[in-house]
């Protein structure tokens, strides 16, 4: 039994060592790929609907999560303390923004701050290197940063070396900029496999409401999708790449607050629901 425990402990250490702080190349290439959403992106989003009900049947409860104290320790070591008062008995929603930062992100951050709210930004390393002050503002304002890869490659198609480069390069860059290491991850296109989830060793956050803002580029359409479908515990997907998503946020944020929702980060949502986010587990929503 002792030998078995030692093997498990060594295995955990080896997995965690992937994310130790490494020197970041000062000459990170600022050239980025074209992030316009193509048919492949559309098909991947459509597949989310098919697997949503199956995956969410396996939402983690507090009792189940406590069986893995190592993951709780990791979370405690890395998590960001909330700067705001959150009432766990009131409904709440997690707004999430992918593929930034961009020239529109700062205005979204200001809007959230004005409304005493926060969101989770799934950042691309290639974009973070262009908007360092915006990345700092995300953390200073009490928002959460998640890893969204370095330059939006489909992770399921990469070998191990390429995969870890996408993750570690982004983690290390964000740490260099804001002294913050992302705890959660959203793979590009929300695309995962069981093997990939084991290798990433972070909680994977997908979504329950897809605004398809990349497709419509229309603030009114984005607002309608959110306001007609939203409920307590939802995780909403938007992209801070588009002016239309910024304009929709100007309407959606105060409207949701008027309806009684608290707008919180992924970590705030999970902690308020007394759910420990586990590495290798995919989350689409976090309900009571």
Q: For residue 51, how many C-alpha atoms fall within 13 Å in the half-sphere facing its CB?
A: 15
Q: Is 148 a catalytic residue?
A: no
In the chain, helix, strand, coil percent, each to 5? 50, 10, 40
Q: Which residue has the tokens 């002294």?
A: 179
- 190, 212 in Cβ contact below 8 A? no
Q: Closest Cα partner for 77 from 264, 267, 263, 204?
A: 267
SS3 category, 238: strand
Q: Is 152 a catalytic residue?
A: no
Give Cα separations from 113 to 105, 159, 228 (angstroms).
12, 40, 25
**CA pair distance 206, 209, nearest whole angstrom:** 9
Q: Closest Cα partner for 284 from 85, 6, 36, 60?
A: 60
Task: Tell me the β-bridge partners of 93.
Answer: 263
169 sits in the region (left: phi over 0; alpha: psi -120 to 50; else beta) called alpha
Of 98, 151, 234, 240, the catalytic one is: 98
Q: Closest Cα partner for 24 from 172, 177, 174?
A: 172
Task: Determine the length of the chain.
Answer: 288
Of 152, 213, 234, 239, the catalytic one is: 239
**CA pair distance 117, 139, nearest whole angstrom:** 13
- Positions annotated as catalytic residues are 98, 239
């Amino acid at each position: 039994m002792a030998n078995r425990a030692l093997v498990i402990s060594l295995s955990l250490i080896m997995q965690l060592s992937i994310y130790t702080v490494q020197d970041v190349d000062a000459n990170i290439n600022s050239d980025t790929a074209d992030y316009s959403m193509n048919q492949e992106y559309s098909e991947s989003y459509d597949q989310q609907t098919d697997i949503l009900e199956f995956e969410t049947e396996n939402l983690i409860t507090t009792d189940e999560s406590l069986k893995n104290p190592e993951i709780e320790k990791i979370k405690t070591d890395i998590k960001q303390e909330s700067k705001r008062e959150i009432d766990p008995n009131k409904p709440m929603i997690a707004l999430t923004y992918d593929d930034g930062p961009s020239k529109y992100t700062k205005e979204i951050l200001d809007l959230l701050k004005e409304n005493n709210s926060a969101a989770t930004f799934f950042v691309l390393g290639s974009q973070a290197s262009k908007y360092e002050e915006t990345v700092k503002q995300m953390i200073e304002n009490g928002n959460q940063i998640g890893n969204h890869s370095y330059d939006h490659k489909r992770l399921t198609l990469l070998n191990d070396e390429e995969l870890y480069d996408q993750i570690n390069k982004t983690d290390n860059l964000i740490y260099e900029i804001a002294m913050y290491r992302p705890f959660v991850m959203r793979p590009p296109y929300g695309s995962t496999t069981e093997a990939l989830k084991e290798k990433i060793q972070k909680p994977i956050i997908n979504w329950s409401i897809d605004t398809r803002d990349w497709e419509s580029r229309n603030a009114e359409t984005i607002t309608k999708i959110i306001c007609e479908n939203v409920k307590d515990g939802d995780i909403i997907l938007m992209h801070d790449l588009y002016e239309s998503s910024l304009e929709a946020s100007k309407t959606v944020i105060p409207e949701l607050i008027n309806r009684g929702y608290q707008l919180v980060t992924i970590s705030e949502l999970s902690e308020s629901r007394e759910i420990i986010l586990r590495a290798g587990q995919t989350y689409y929503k976090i309900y009571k």
